[in-house]
């Protein structure tokens, strides 16, 4: 798989997209020449948005070379909301889940790439085996729903024991925790069973769960077996290539999330 992480961002080189396509074409050609009897897969992980053109605008209709030379497009339909947001929301909403960008969702991303010219069987919906936590400035209740303001006056809290303290590649970014909590931690701590002061809710719009701990106003957005089953069924209903997950080691010892995705195959 080829991951060109910043090919959808504006840069000094406005030929990033065309250069990337030329590179993919070359990779495809070299693989076919070296392995004439066996088709080697060339795949890429992509944003929820399509690539940028030379003027820095989103490409609505992609060159046919993308679907010709690339076998699969894995949409990273997660990290769509987090501590970087102003309000709490779903990390990986299947449907409209971000109040600031209402089209930012897994389903919207799939629609965008297919309309841009990528056949549905080459599109894969990415799902996360983790979530994000952060403090809110007001209490979350059943009536408030998933969206309340984050507390911007406090530092990002550490997620779980796997969460590292580092700076991301963005300009002028300062080191911090990400707030990431892996499913194995969420399951072990009994969060989905409302243990240790946590209360778990279901957001019917994004079709994902979220949890809240009132004593320290801690919010957690994540995916569970129910939300992943819905996403896998969505991929099947819309005749996508399947789902992509990030990442396998974040599952619990019983492979609960992986098994949930496998249900639709039976």
* Residues ≥6 apart with Cβ < 8 Å to 203: 90, 93, 97, 145, 146, 209, 210
Q: Average pLDDT over the chain, rounded to whole?
A: 93
138, 124 in Cβ contact below 8 A?
Answer: no
Decide if pLDDT at 221 tops 70: yes
Q: Could you give the CA distance from residue 56 to residue 53 in angstroms, rounded to a whole number?
A: 5
| pLDDT-based confidence at residue 40 (cuts at 50, 70, 90) | very high
What Å distances lie between residue 83 and 134, 170, 173, 225, CA to CA? 6, 15, 14, 24
Do 2-129+225-264 and 130-222 fold alike per CATH?
no
Residue 160: predicted pLDDT: 98
Question: What CATH architecture does domain 130-222 belong to?
Answer: Roll (3.10)
266 CB neighbour count, 10 Å cutoff:
4
Q: CATH for 2-129+225-264, among 3.40.50.1980, 3.40.50.300, 3.20.20.80, 2.40.50.220?
A: 3.20.20.80
- Residues present in the chain in total: 266
pLDDT digits (tens, 9 = 90+) for 253-265: 999 999 999 999 8
Report which of 51, 48, 42 is spatially closest to residue 9, judged by C-alpha positions.
51
Report which of 254, 195, 262, 189 is spatially closest to residue 228, judged by C-alpha positions.
262
Residue 6: predicted pLDDT: 53
Decide if pLDDT at 5 tops 80: no
Query: What residue ranges do the domains of the chain occupy?
Result: 2-129+225-264, 130-222
What Å distances lie between residue 4 and 16, 111, 123, 251, CA to CA? 10, 21, 17, 26
């Amino acid at each position: 798989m080829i991951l060109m992480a910043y090919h959808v961002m504006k840069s000094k080189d406005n030929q990033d997209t065309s250069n990337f396509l030329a590179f993919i074409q070359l990779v495809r050609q070299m693989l076919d020449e070296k392995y004439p009897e066996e088709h080697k897969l060339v795949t890429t992980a992509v944003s929820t948005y399509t690539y940028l053109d030379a003027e820095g605008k989103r490409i609505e209709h992609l060159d046919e070379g993308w679907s010709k030379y690339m076998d699969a497009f894995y949409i990273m339909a997660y990290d769509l909301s987090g501590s970087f947001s102003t309000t709490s929301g779903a990390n990986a909403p299947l449907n409209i889940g971000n109040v600031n960008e209402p089209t930012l969702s897994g389903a919207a991303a799939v629609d965008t790439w297919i309309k841009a010219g990528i056949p549905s069987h080459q599109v894969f919906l990415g799902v996360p085996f983790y979530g994000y936590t952060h403090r809110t400035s007001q209490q979350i209740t059943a009536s408030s729903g998933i969206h309340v303001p984050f507390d911007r006056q406090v530092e990002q809290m550490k997620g779980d024991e796997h969460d590292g303290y580092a700076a991301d590649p963005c300009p002028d970014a300062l080191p911090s925790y990400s707030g990431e909590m892996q499913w194995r931690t969420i399951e072990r701590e009994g969060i989905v069973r409302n243990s240790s002061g946590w209360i778990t809710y279901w957001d019917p719009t994004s079709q994902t769960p979220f949890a809240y701990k009132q004593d320290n106003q801690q919010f957690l957005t994540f995916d569970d077996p129910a939300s992943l089953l819905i996403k896998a069924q969505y991929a099947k209903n819309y005749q996508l290539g399947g789902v992509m997950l990030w990442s396998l080691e974040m599952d619990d010892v019983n492979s609960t999330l992986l098994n949930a995705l496998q249900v639709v195959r039976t």
